[in-house]
Structure 1
Amino acid sequence: MIPATQPHEARYKHTTEHPNGTTTTHYTTKRVIAWDDDGHPLVVGRAGTLDRATSWSNYHDIGACPAPVVAVIPGAGWQGEYKSDDDAVFTWPITVWAISADGSCKPLAVDALGDTDDARDSENFVRLIPPGES
């Protein structure tokens, strides 16, 4: 068995036929934990054992995936700068930095509704402001 040192996931296809005649498709994923000696991806099965990802009938494919978050650290005074619809500029605090297993980090902000997202993903994002800078 070879440990999965690079993040990959197995995708499983689910097709639903609705009473109105339409069909929808969605996918679920399982993280690849290891590779067997023949190179087959292994995922955690229903009984908590490592099973070949291909053992499920709805197996679709294997693909690279983002590295998992392994730690978070406080935002430490960082802020995101944004531009409103009327071109006014405002800032919002970076709540935490999410650190991924590959060493990358994302600045996470919590909005007024309590939703958490990468601060840079907002379409009105301008820049990150380090502590003490305005």
Structure 2
Amino acid sequence: MDVDAWDAATGVSVVVDPQRGARRPVTDYTDFSHLERADQVVAVIPGAGWRAHWKDEGPDSGPLTEQVLAWLVTSKERATPVPVDAHGHTDDAESADRLIPPGDE
């Protein structure tokens, strides 16, 4: 769960409980053990002609190349390519075998 706020009086992190439809301190959960810093997206930049290539993700387990629509830049200074397929669907390309820069064939 994502931390939604911090209790000003106690300093305890607060999350949204979707079943109650209200905020709850994380300490209300019996299985709570710790918080972890999330790698949050801080910027999105255009794909700028980059392409993602997989050796065996295409038809009949053949090659597949898709345009990178955008790059997600995170708070940990990581850039993740987000390609778009022929149907307009997106996903991350972290499993791509190769990222092809603009102008390379």
TM-score bracket, shorter-length normalisation: 0.5 to 0.7
Which residue in the other structure is 1:101 paired with?
75
Count of residue pairs the alignment pairs up: 98
Q: Which residue of 1 aligns with 2:14?
A: 43
Q: TM-score if structure 2 supplies the norm length? A: 0.67
Q: Give the share of equivalent positions with the same residue, in percent.
A: 33
How much has 1:120 moved relative to structure 2?
A: 2.3
**Structure 2: which amino acid aligns with 1:111?**
D
Alignment of 1:52-131 (within 5 A): 52-54=25-27, 56-83=28-55, 84=58, 86=60, 88-121=62-95, 125-131=96-102
> 1:16 — aligned with what?
none
User: How far does residue 101 in structure 1 lie from its aligned partner after superposition?
Assistant: 1.4
Work out whether residues 83 and 93 of structure 2, in 8 Å CA contact, stay in contact via their aligned partners in 1. yes
Name the structure 1 match of 2:104. 133
Two-structure CA RMSD over aligned residues (Å): 3.2
- For the pair shown, the structure with the greater C-alpha radius of gyration is 1
For structure 2, the residue ranges without an aligned partner over 5 or more in a row are: 17-21
Question: What SS does structure 1 have at the residue aligned with 2:94?
Answer: helix
1: CA distance, partners of 2:85 / 2:74: 22
Deviations 1:88-118 (A, max 9, x none): 4342100000011121110011234443221
Q: 1:65 to 1:110 in 2, by over 3 A?
A: farther
Distance 1:71 1:92, change over 3 A: same
Instruction: Give 5+ residue unaligned stretches, structure 1.
Output: 1-28
Tell me by how many angstroms 1:63 deviates.
4.0
CA distance in 2, matches of 1:114, 1:85: 17
Q: Which has the higher strand share?
A: 1
